[in-house]
Structure 1
Amino acid sequence: MKFSENWLRELVEIKADRAALAHALTMAGLEVEALTPLGENLGGVVVAEIVGAEKHPEADRLQVCKVNAGSGELLQIVCGAPNARIGIKVPLATVGASLPGDITIKAAKLRGVESFGMLCSAKELGIDSDASGLLELPLDAPVGQPLATYLALPDASIELKLTPNRPDCLGLVGLAHDVAALFGSHVKAAAQVDAAVTSSARRGIRLQAGKDAPRYLGRIIEGIDPAARTPLWLAERLRRAGLRPISAVVDVTNYVMLELGQPLHAFDNGTLEGDIVVRHARDGEVLKLLDGSEAKLDSGFVLIADDNKALAVAGVMGGYDSRVTDATHNIFLESAHFAPAAIMGRARKLGMHTDASHRFERGVDPELPRRALERATELLLAIAGGKAGPVLAAENLADLPKPAMVCLRRARLKRVLGVDVADTEVARIFTALGMRVEGTSEGWRVTAPTSRFDIELEEDLIEEVARIYGYDRIPTHTPEGALALATEPEARLNELAVREQLAAREYYEAVNLAFVSHGTLETWGFTEQLVPLANPLSTDLAVMRPSLLPGLIEALSHNRARQQERVRLFELGRVFMAGNPPVETPSLAIVASGNARAEQWGEASRPLDFFDLKGDLDALVTWGGEPQRWAVHRDSLPAWLHPGRAARVTRDGETVGYVGALHPRLAKALDLGPDVHVLELALEPLLGRRLPKAQPVSRFPTVRRDIAVDVPEQVSWSQIEQAIRGSLGVTLAELRLFDRYSGKGVEAGRKSLAMGLILQDASRTLTDEDADRCVQNAVSALGAACEAKLRG
């Protein structure tokens, strides 16, 4: 929002200088993004008329002009502007005048011809960026009058960076209410004056867009003068707001939009056929717009049409064929209210951004259309003449937004702001902002104007009080409160400890997005119970991850593509499965590739294998103090794991994860080698910890018995360990596997395992008979559970 400071000061009394005004606006949430002084220090610059112009004898691009500056004698000025000609009125900087940029005008000779002053462009005066030629003033400009007086200078162009919730400040009158509240004054906007109806011209209006366009007003104005010039005061206000004057009709509609915040549009009434119809566009409908582009529309657009053709894209831009031209004498002036949702994104879809769409998509006061129509009519009749017809209106009152009534509690206001604001000050603030205020025993009942779409909750009213009262007047206190320290449960490991343990084992933590693509999940074989996103950032991020491994493998692949052969990564995060609501499971995943050990001199390098990752798993499990509750199994593996080099991980018999090498087909599809190994576990079972309990050192010695058993190849060590521990109980102090053999002497499909049973009793010394009995019990249990045979 860009506007003239002088224009704002005409609407509201401001008892502050420019800097204080800019600071107050910014502190109230209406950030001043740019402030450009205009026409500073123009003493000695007057209105002058060129009464003679001859070619410079020594320069083709210069003219020697005779200029009337109102002093009684003509001044000779050498000028190089392309538009310098007899009869125009322009600014003249007389000898001794100072211009922006520390330029002082002196008498000089240019190519041998004396010059007594300088004819100026708008840029040289510091009032505009146009440097293409002299600033041409209206022909009725009084010769000799100081230019600053004539153009109401000095002034400033102020540009605000408004947040989307303040569309009411996209009009000067709406902004004036905030300024009035800030400076304790009142808005001086003139009351609405209905134009005299001197024409009976009418046109029907039909609303067919439902709640998207609940109010549409228009009127026909006949007999305007298309050659009428926009008054200087109005043209200057447009320029200082960043808009170029075009024609009287267009300038008036732009002026009213800047003043009130209501966009308007004028059609050439002679191009319209039948009634005005406000409807949705048809899919594939095409309309040529004012800028010459063709808009391809769909049913999401609201269209202004007549009985036979489309006229304009509602809230965005008018059509080319119904535009007002230099030959237009009769216009149809529209002023409408469109629902923000119906306009939002429509201009962007057409690849444009207009002043109208900027306002309508944020929300325009539904009560403004009639006021804006009357104001524009008043200005048009004064500038271009003509006869105004009656106001033509079509409305669906049930679809118009209603003013919001919100209660504000005095105690709540004090609690949030931390300061007492007097009741009279609160009432003054709301009244100055155009709200209706009614006192209650607990505070206030406030009805926001229809222009304030952002007032819905009690917190919105508190914000209004805070920003007008002044954030700098609210004392700053250090927050106080007794914080209860969280007790870290001893029976649970924390996630930081897991991270530290993995970092100590040479793993680096990775953090990946929780979104993956459908294609990636299909490659892995994850096709069930997925959680798709309703509005994904891109097709590559369309599904919530059901596993941490796809993201980690992508990170591993990224590192390997950059010459990192030994990669070890882990991630702690959540995975998601379909449900109502979706199920989130904290998980831990590890990926590793390359050599088992970093390059060194003391040990020959070897590739990573299953048992390296199994060792990392054992370290994490043992850390919890209950390794006997964990086991690995070769059955029921997912399709993405190698069937001969992977295992299912269980805790208390329940599956909690998997460990092993990637399946060769998947590794090939992902362009990876056979050395990539992975581990994924549900995190919560891993965080459980047995509390340490001190035990006295036994006074009785241990007894060791070694046995070798022949078992089927598919029997895992976990099964053997569980069988032995289950048969011996607390008598088994430790079980050690010290040899594995298969080959000559062992039946095909079987293996030989040699282990040491470390036996101990807490109350007595075990005898040989006790030890032999334990061995027999262990062998019997192995035979029953694992088809084991004792080797000789």
Structure 2
Amino acid sequence: MQFPESWLRAFADPDMESQALADCLTMAGLEVEEAESAAPPFSGVVVARIAGVEPHPNADKLRVCRVDDGSGELLQIVCGAPNAAEGLKVPLARLGARLPGGFAIGKAKMRGIESFGMLCSSRELGLSQEHDGLLVLDDALPEGQDIREALDLDDTVFTLKLTPNRADCLSILGVAREVSALTGAALTLPEYTPVPVTLDERLPVEVKDKDLCGRFAGRVIRGVNARAQTPAWMKARLERAGQRSLSVLVDISNYVMLELGRPSHVFDLDKIQGSLEVRWARKGEQITLLNGQTLALEPDVGVIVAGDVPESLAGIMGGEATSVTLDTTNIYLETAYWHPEAIMGKARRYRFGSEASHRFERGVDFSSIPEHIERITRLIVDICGGSVGPVDDLCVALPPRNPVGMRLSRCQRVLGVDVTHDEAASIFTRLQLPFTVEGETFVVTPPAYRFDLSIEEDLIEEVARVHGFENIPDVPPVAEARMNVPLEVQRSPHELRQAIASREYQEVINFSFVEEAWEKEWVGNADPIQLLNPIASHLSVMRSSLIPGLVANIVHNAKHRQSRVRVFELGRVFARDAEVKDADLHVAGIRQPQYLAGAAWGPAFQEQWGVPVRQVDFFDVKKDVEVLMGAKTDALVCKADQHPLLHPGRGARLVFEGRPIGWLGELHPRWVQESGLAHAPVVFELDAQAVSQARLAQAGDLSRQPVVVRDLAVWAGVDVEYQSLLDTLHKTIAAEASLAIVREIRLFDVWRDTSAGQQATEKSLALRFWLQDAEATLDDQRVEQCIHRLLDALVRTHGVRQRA
């Protein structure tokens, strides 16, 4: 909520500076998010009167003005503003003045005519973005008065960040109550003197649904001047509270809403056909709102109807059909109490919000409606004129104000402060909370504007706020606190999420309950864990794999025209295991490991001009898994294996340090077809525990010697796996010290001869070796000996032959 400090001080004016007041509100739970001046810094600008205007002899769009700035001499100012006219009072930046942004005013010559200052628009003073002409000031302001003083530009604008429970502070009056209670400053209330009734006219109103509207009040006002100007003081307060001035009737309604927290609505009386009826909407009804949006209404939305036609969305926004215009002369002023439960979430459902719904869904004072409608009426009559009819006040179903008890001993124990009986009584009195005392228990009856007081802890919070959180002593805990220092190699679930999210995967959270067909057919789990009371008939078993849920996420996104999807989930799966015993975190016979699974579908890269479109494949996702493993990538091995979820020839079991930890591969074609996907997703699933242990980086010496690169191509049988060749090479290097100069090995080419039209029995594998000695430069003889030794190991173990 945003408001000027001067408006607040009109209700409660404590003897403290602006910053101290902001700190006081913040410490009481009304966080002052911002406290800024109403205008940016500038100096040397005064009120001036244009005494005469003449055309510029050398420019059609410029005029030469004679300006009275109160100094006794008329100043010559060249001005290009279209509204510069004799008799206007406008801001004048004198010679030497400094405008926002540090712009200094000096004597200038414009098309041969000297100018001794500058007449200013609102934008030039940083007051608004309007720059169509000069800022026109009130005729009553004296010439020569500093503009900051004349327009109260040194006022401070507070922005409060309110919690949802403090609906009573969504008004100047509500904040002023808090200031009065916190500082002891006197609270000044607006005048609620009834306006004399001069009309004997009423508009019939019937409240049909008591669970929608608890109180409804309104009155007829005829002969208003809707073209009247909004007073400058009201417009200034509205603008500094973040409200744009629209028209006088709308401005008055908004002003009272900000001042008292009372939303109201003004109908054009001549557009209302028949009487008003307050009820729930009927299926198929429609309404066009003031924002131009046409809504199809549901039966759980409240409306005000006239002649069975919805004219207003109850507690949210008025309708276009009965809205006031500048030609309106007769109005019906309405204000009501709408039950919060009837308003909650309705505006968000239609993807908009309003100041009224923001207040009504949190709770608005229902006891002060007659006084507040008199306040609105007084402003309308004083500004727009008119004849006033009597107030119709229908009390239908007001909410009860249930007393709330607070035990003083409980308050002292919770706060850790020895709050005395007299101090608690003083706090409730200052907060204007009526109470009685029964023994050591304070029984408080919440006022009609406090919807946040319902349990004992609410009252304890009130005592703490007014007593002052800063006055609660810092008492160290008595118990010894021992910090559990995590191992440096341990990776938390958050780190795992961050690692996989850095590869463009987005996290999802799926139900642990899945379809039985998924478990039996997709995962191959013949005996899934059945639920005794499933939340839905198709979610009847516990999952033993995360992959089917991720595939369902991809299908959902594909149906919504998403062409590239990468999702992951970190969650528990459930499988039968007779070895698991009952414990605090375990259920007998059920194993509940935590898995990390991911699925990628669509193009391997975002669409761009530099890379051709290519569908994600096995090796793309394998790289993601390797990045997830970090420094332990060299210990990760892919073993060709079969899984019901995976493509028979494009799936692999992931083995880490000799232990299976998961699966990787393309989704089985059967499930791809069943899911209606154009391409097969590539999925992986890992035991989260296996990837939670990181490997500490080992520092090593950097060699200054050059690296030698050698290639070796061999013929091998088609059934020989590259991994077996790599394992042989690593074992050979580890066994012979002379081969320690081999730093890295990579496979960079695979080729089969299919030119003869028959199936090849051999394949060519091209390996690249990086060799480097830490102490000496490698010569050709040593490199060739090393490569020859590695080739011999491959020949002996796998029967390969070198390719010519």
Correspondence for 1:669: 671
Give 1:340 shift: 1.3
Q: 1:640 to 1:20 in 2, by over 3 A?
A: same
Alpha-carbon RMSD: 4.5
- The separation in 1 between residues aligned to 2:457 and 2:671, in whole angstroms, is 55
Correspondence for 1:385: 385
Q: 1:212 to 1:679 in 2, by over 3 A?
A: same
- The separation in 1 between residues aligned to 2:79 and 2:38, in whole angstroms, is 24
- The separation in 1 between residues aligned to 2:352 and 2:663, in whole angstroms, is 54
Correspondence for 2:408: 410
Equivalent position amino acid for 1:38 in 2: A
1:435–1:447 contact (8 Å) kept in structure 2: yes
Give 1:308 shift: 4.3
Correspondence for 1:267: 267
2:546–2:685 contact (8 Å) kept in structure 1: no
- The separation in 1 between residues aligned to 2:138 and 2:512, in whole angstroms, is 66
Alpha-carbon deviations, 1:568-592, whole Å to 9, x = none? x99755689xxxxxx9865247899
Q: 1:84 to 1:283 in 2, by over 3 A?
A: farther
Give 1:450 shift: 1.3
Task: Tell me whether 1:547 sits opposite 2:552 in the alignment.
Answer: no
Equivalent position amino acid for 1:409 in 2: R
Give 1:47 shift: 2.9
Q: 1:21 to 1:214 in 2, by over 3 A?
A: same
Give 1:265 shift: 0.8
Task: Tell me the secondary structure at the aligned position of residue 202 of structure 2.
Answer: coil
2:530–2:541 contact (8 Å) kept in structure 1: no
Task: Tell me whether 1:375 sits opposite 2:375 in the alignment.
Answer: yes
Equivalent position amino acid for 1:365 in 2: D
Q: 1:552 to 1:279 in 2, by over 3 A?
A: closer
Give 1:474 shift: 0.9
Correspondence for 1:67: 67
2:516–2:541 contact (8 Å) kept in structure 1: no
Correspondence for 1:342: 342
Equivalent position amino acid for 2:428 in 1: F
Correspondence for 1:454: 452
Q: 1:424 to 1:44 in 2, by over 3 A?
A: farther
Equivalent position amino acid for 1:269 in 2: L
Task: Tell me the secondary structure at the aligned position of residue 515 of structure 1.
Answer: coil
- The separation in 2 between residues aligned to 1:591 and 1:172, in whole angstroms, is 52
1:572–1:586 contact (8 Å) kept in structure 2: no
Give 1:29 shift: 1.7
Task: Tell me the secondary structure at the aligned position of residue 180 of structure 1.
Answer: helix
Q: 1:256 to 1:111 in 2, by over 3 A?
A: same
Q: 1:605 to 1:309 in 2, by over 3 A?
A: closer
Q: 1:65 to 1:467 in 2, by over 3 A?
A: same
2:365–2:448 contact (8 Å) kept in structure 1: yes
- 1:568-579 alignment to 2 at 5 Å? none
Correspondence for 1:763: none
Question: Over alpha carbons, which structure has the higher Rg?
Answer: 1
Give 1:544 shift: 8.6
1:61–1:80 contact (8 Å) kept in structure 2: yes
- The separation in 2 between residues aligned to 1:282 and 1:53, in whole angstroms, is 63
Equivalent position amino acid for 2:122 in 1: A
Higher mean displacement: 29-38 or 210-219: 29-38
User: Mind listing any 5+ residue stretches in structure 1 that lack a counterpart?
Assistant: 487-495, 501-507, 535-541, 559-568, 577-582, 611-638, 643-658, 681-792
Give 1:259 shift: 0.5
Correspondence for 1:790: none
Q: 1:293 to 1:678 in 2, by over 3 A?
A: closer
Give 1:543 shift: 5.2
- The separation in 1 between residues aligned to 2:51 and 2:335, in whole angstroms, is 46
Equivalent position amino acid for 1:424 in 2: D
Correspondence for 1:17: 17
Give 1:442 shift: 1.0
- 1:272-291 alignment to 2 at 5 Å? 272-291=272-291
- Which of 418, 422, 435 is matched with 1:420 structurally? 418
Give 1:2 shift: 1.0
- Which of 398, 401, 416 is matched with 2:399 structurally? 401
- The separation in 2 between residues aligned to 1:477 and 1:350, in whole angstroms, is 50
1:523–1:666 contact (8 Å) kept in structure 2: no
Task: Tell me whether 1:35 sits opposite 2:35 in the alignment.
Answer: yes
Equivalent position amino acid for 2:195 in 1: A
Correspondence for 2:81: 81
Give 1:205 shift: 0.7
Q: 1:543 to 1:483 in 2, by over 3 A?
A: farther
Equivalent position amino acid for 2:671 in 1: A
2:280–2:299 contact (8 Å) kept in structure 1: yes
2:512–2:543 contact (8 Å) kept in structure 1: no
- 1:1-16 alignment to 2 at 5 Å? 1-16=1-16
2:311–2:318 contact (8 Å) kept in structure 1: yes
Correspondence for 1:691: none
Give 1:12 shift: 0.3
Alpha-carbon deviations, 1:214-260, whole Å to 9, x = none? 21110011111222211111111111111122222111111100000
Give 1:50 shift: 3.0
Correspondence for 1:429: 427
Equivalent position amino acid for 2:542 in 1: P
Give 1:191 shift: 4.8
Alpha-carbon deviations, 1:263-292, whole Å to 9, x = none? 011011111122111111222212122222
- The separation in 2 between residues aligned to 1:75 and 1:259, in whole angstroms, is 43
Alpha-carbon deviations, 1:388-431, whole Å to 9, x = none? 1100122213xx22223211111111111111234333223222
- Which of 446, 461, 464 is matched with 1:463 structurally? 461
- The separation in 2 between residues aligned to 1:218 and 1:228, in whole angstroms, is 22
Task: Tell me whether 1:117 sits opposite 2:113 in the alignment.
Answer: no
Correspondence for 1:617: none
- Which of 587, 591, 605 is matched with 2:592 structurally? 587
Give 1:519 shift: 6.6
- 1:513-662 alignment to 2 at 5 Å? 513=509, 515=511, 522=518, 524=520, 529=531, 546-551=542-547, 587-588=592-593, 607=640
Q: TM-score, normalised by structure 1?
A: 0.65
- The separation in 2 between residues aligned to 1:517 and 1:309, in whole angstroms, is 47
- The separation in 1 between residues aligned to 2:230 and 2:681, in whole angstroms, is 77
Equivalent position amino acid for 1:29 in 2: G
Higher mean displacement: 105-114 or 54-63: 54-63
Give 1:453 shift: 0.8
User: Mind listing any 5+ residue stretches in structure 2 that lack a counterpart?
Assistant: 492-498, 502-506, 522-527, 555-568, 577-585, 598-617, 623-628, 648-660, 674-679, 689-804
Give 1:370 shift: 2.0
1:514–1:545 contact (8 Å) kept in structure 2: no
Higher mean displacement: 295-304 or 253-262: 295-304
- The separation in 2 between residues aligned to 1:674 and 1:322, in whole angstroms, is 59
- The separation in 1 between residues aligned to 2:32 and 2:683, in whole angstroms, is 61
Q: 1:153 to 1:512 in 2, by over 3 A?
A: closer
- The separation in 1 between residues aligned to 2:285 and 2:218, in whole angstroms, is 24
Alpha-carbon deviations, 1:603-656, whole Å to 9, x = none? x9964589xxxxxxxxxxxxxxxxxxxxxxxxxxxx9999xxxxxxxxxxxxxx
Task: Tell me the secondary structure at the aligned position of residue 53 of structure 2.
Answer: strand
- The separation in 2 between residues aligned to 1:441 and 1:8, in whole angstroms, is 38
Alpha-carbon deviations, 1:654-702, whole Å to 9, x = none? xxxxx9999x99784269999999999xxxxxxxxxxxxxxxxxxxxxx
1:609–1:675 contact (8 Å) kept in structure 2: no
Give 1:549 shift: 1.8
Correspondence for 2:242: 242
Q: 1:550 to 1:149 in 2, by over 3 A?
A: closer
- The separation in 2 between residues aligned to 1:521 and 1:87, in whole angstroms, is 86
1:29–1:467 contact (8 Å) kept in structure 2: yes
1:267–1:322 contact (8 Å) kept in structure 2: yes
- The separation in 2 between residues aligned to 1:410 and 1:138, in whole angstroms, is 57
Higher mean displacement: 328-337 or 152-161: 152-161
Q: 1:575 to 1:368 in 2, by over 3 A?
A: farther
Task: Tell me the secondary structure at the aligned position of residue 92 of structure 2.
Answer: strand
- The separation in 2 between residues aligned to 1:454 and 1:551, in whole angstroms, is 45
- The separation in 1 between residues aligned to 2:335 and 2:382, in whole angstroms, is 19
Q: TM-score, normalised by structure 2?
A: 0.65
2:94–2:117 contact (8 Å) kept in structure 1: yes
Task: Tell me the secondary structure at the aligned position of residue 181 of structure 1.
Answer: helix
